[in-house]
Amino acid sequence: MEVSEEAGGRAPRDAPPGSLRCPSFPYNMGSRKEFKTQEMGKGIFMQPHRMPWRRSLLRGGLLWVVLCTGCPSEPTSMQTDGSALMDPPAIGDLTQGNDMAIRPCTLTSTWTTVDDYFPPNARDNSYGTAIAQDPAGALFVFGGYNDSMGSYHWYVRRSQNGGATWTLIDDFQLVAGKSTSPGWSIGVLGAGQVVVTGDAKDATNRPSAVTRRTANGGMSWTTDVYQYPGGQDSTSSSVYVGSAGSVYLMGGGKDGSGKFHWLVRQSVHGGDSYSILDDYLHPDSITNIARAAVEQSPGVLYVLGTRSSAAGLHWVVRASTGAGGSFVVEDDFQLVPGKDCYPRGIWKGPGGSLFALGWCSDATGKYHGIVRRRQGNPPTWTTVDDFQLVVGHDSQMSGIAADSQGALYLVGAGRDRNDIFHALIRRSVDGGSSFATIDDFQLVAGKHAYWYGVIKDQQGNLYVVGGGTNAQDRWHSLVRKLACN
């Protein structure tokens, strides 16, 4: 690897063989100019010595990096073929084939609504569950709505201008007139290449796990329909795109005896076909469902889900023992013994800590928004946020991301004293050790609202997705944006 002297950089010492060739490193990092490189799977990542990353892009076939103080320490990674490793999408700041300017930005103080979607054939319910960005900068929103007959569709919408305008690129039911429900994430494989998953009823009303993939920005889709072998029902909760193009589907399937198995299915061919990676049935459980996953390192997967017991639903994390290896239970949690927990998402944050989030019941049956963090040596899971908007009323947490300065943003909802949900954003500026509510939103005052997901895009803007009810008590799918200027 070489760094040009005219850019003010110094060549890294002991660069590994096969590293990307980087001709110059513009920077504004003060006097320190030492760099280190480290191999990571197929490619490498580069990180300034004791200095944080800002963002990177591919320009003219060459990797350019801008560094600045006060930014996250998490490196952006790139494969040797020049494609981004989008893990996690909320942290990676890489765009491909784009000559955009790179500069630090500052988040504004005001969230603005950039999409308020209620399909023309919707009856009373439209909601967004996930948002993602591809390497070309296009935004994708995944969600659902019920039609005039009351059956549910899922939809995918796309924006190619930062949320200013949106186009519907998928409106789907597996069988016309039979409900189809979206999962809670979008998998990004490349520019215009996304994967979505969820549940759909067939002609006999049997639920199936359904996954759809587009390689051309939504002009066409392929569909995978799955039933657990010998079983009756199957479900799919989320999709996660890991290293080297691996695609993971989390869900469950009912066997012939009526027990629900926790399932992780994997595709090593970019979603062309799937095989079971983890089939878990706790000996004391009737229902086990995988909900979400994240890689700690290439091929080392952490999966969040639930298992039932005579003492309620448990929050469970299973970890693979190595790339392609078996799984072990690393966390089995209830806020109060015997009371249900509903985990929703798991995420890798700056510095490599893992965060799991969802909600759990207290002794009175009221739910608390819960965030648990994995860190330390040896690593352990501990609760870092136990939240109710109003004490004695339900709160739930559904999504998490980081901004360009490393602050964490947690989204969900909480009920007020009148049991009306408010869409909430909570922020941590100390790596997740504590959170404070910074935004409380309702589309119409006194009506329900909820956030399900949050991301940071390549320009540092933040987006949240969810829904809110209007004055006529109809749920609208909503996207709001906090611009980074």
155 occurs within a structural domain: yes
pLDDT 10s digits, 46-65: 333 222 333 333 333 333 33
The answer on 449 and 326 residing in a single domain is yes
DSSP per-residue codes, 410-444: EEEEEE-TTS-EEEEEEEESSTTS--EEEEEE-SS
Cis peptide before 378 (omega within 30 of 0): yes
Of 96, 121, 143, the residue at which a domain comes to its end is 96
pLDDT 10s digits, 166-210: 999 999 999 999 999 999 999 999 999 999 999 999 988 999 999
- Does pLDDT of 43 surpass 70? no
Across 382-403, average pLDDT: 97
The amino acid occupying position 335 is L
Q: Which residues contact 352 (CB under 8 A, 6 or more apart)?
A: 74, 296, 375
The answer on 369 and 442 residing in a single domain is yes
pLDDT 10s digits, 304-331: 999 999 999 999 999 998 766 699 999 9
477 occurs within a structural domain: yes
Share of the chain above pLDDT 70, in %: 78
The answer on 196 and 52 residing in a single domain is no
User: What's the mean pLDDT when you consider all of the chain?
Assistant: 82
CA distance 263 to 290: 6
CA distance 102 to 438: 28
Of 65, 96, 127, the residue at which a domain comes to its end is 96
398 CB neighbour count, 10 Å cutoff: 25
pLDDT for position 104: 67
CA distance 99 to 458: 13
Across 269-283, average pLDDT: 92
Burial group, residue 334, by CB count within 10 angstroms (0-12, 13-18, 19+): middle
pLDDT 10s digits, 199-224: 999 988 999 999 999 999 999 999 99
Across 419-426, average pLDDT: 98
pLDDT for position 324: 60
pLDDT for position 244: 82
Domain count, the chain: 2
The answer on 194 and 326 residing in a single domain is yes
Across 87-97, average pLDDT: 30
100 CB neighbour count, 10 Å cutoff: 11
Residue 367 φ then ψ, to 5°: -95, 145
438 occurs within a structural domain: yes
The answer on 131 and 272 residing in a single domain is yes
The answer on 88 and 127 residing in a single domain is no
Share of the chain above pLDDT 90, in %: 70
14 occurs within a structural domain: yes
CA distance 48 to 32: 9
- Does pLDDT of 299 surpass 80? yes
Note down the domain range covering 396. 107-484
